[in-house]
Amino acid sequence: MTLSFPIEEVQVALTNKRPSIKKPIHQTDWFGINQEEFYLDIPEVGCFYAKDGNKVSVFPYPEASKESLYLYLHGSVYGAILHQRKIMPLHGSSFVWQNQGILLCGESGAGKSSLTTAFCQDGSKFVSDDVSPILFEENSPQVWALSSRIKLWKDSLKQLEQSSENLSRILPDQAKFYFPMPEPSGNKQPLHHILMLEVSPVKQVQFQPLESSKKFEALRNEIYRWEFLQGMPETEAAYLPQLLHLAESTTITKVLRPRDIPILEMKDVLERWFIENFT
């Protein structure tokens, strides 16, 4: 079995020995972590180990599928590797709309992936799904384009007029699938705007630009697998100036959306707002 990883230079190997770490600073029932090491144990999938930002080993359980291993390698393990490298990952999906780098953040179900797909089907450039690594070049925030697939529920695929027939199911008991996107360039795409999507009892979409005093906390809450930082004091300290600079360098807007608004209707609302505010 060959296992891929978003960052090419990271070494990924299968192991026949269940990994662990001796001195975790923070530990739960499913993961343990210190500044250099991380392990993750997922029932019926496998046990994963990451070290020094460049090595990953995987102990798969017999019932594990390649898709389920991929899910955690490209999710929590990827997040741990980025934290070890002190590259801040935000929990969001991103794309480039008319030369404007857009990052959609929010809780699961807020529409990050489906809206990103809708924009990319209409000519926008895909950058990332779910995990968006933030880098800084010449004081400009950038998103590292490493994602090659996007995760979509069957209902979302239907709304986007896409079939799930030939797609890989992420987990056997879920109607959620990997939808292929253009191969990642590995380039860094400038980030200009961050939208915090939130499902709300509102009747129509509302936009609420965040004041400077609220930007930091909003961004801090969007760090992917922020709970890992409880065992990584050096990384948490390194993220402080990154968060401050990101808050100063981008516009951040809370977007309240009705729960049942169709994907394409929501996309059109966002695009009209982009035209009014970003052009």
**pLDDT for position 111:** 95
Hey, what are 24's tokens?
Answer: 């975790």
Q: Provide the pLDDT confidence category of residue 4 given band limits of 50, 70 and 90.
A: confident
pLDDT higher than 80, residue 2? no
Domain coordinates in residue numbering, the chain: 11-84, 88-278
Hey, what are 183's tokens?
Answer: 């191969």
9-to-27, 55, 277 alpha-carbon distances in Å: 28, 9, 39
**pLDDT for position 136:** 94
Q: What is the pLDDT of residues 143-192, one digit of tens each?
A: 999 988 899 999 999 999 999 999 989 888 889 999 999 877 789 999 99
pLDDT higher than 90, residue 129? yes
Contacts of 71 (CB under 8 A, 6+ apart): 45, 170, 171
Q: What is the pLDDT of residues 32-41, one digit of tens each?
A: 999 999 999 9
Most confident segment among 67-71, 170-174, 259-263, 275-279: 259-263
Q: At 174, which amino acid appears?
A: Q
If one looks up domain 88-278 in CATH, what number appears? 3.40.50
What is residue 221's three-state secondary structure? Answer: helix
**pLDDT for position 271:** 97
Query: Based on C-alpha coordinates, what's the Rg of the chain?
Result: 19
**pLDDT for position 138:** 85
Sign of the Cα torsion 24, 146, 175, 165 reads negative
Residue that wins the pLDDT comparison between 213 and 220: 220
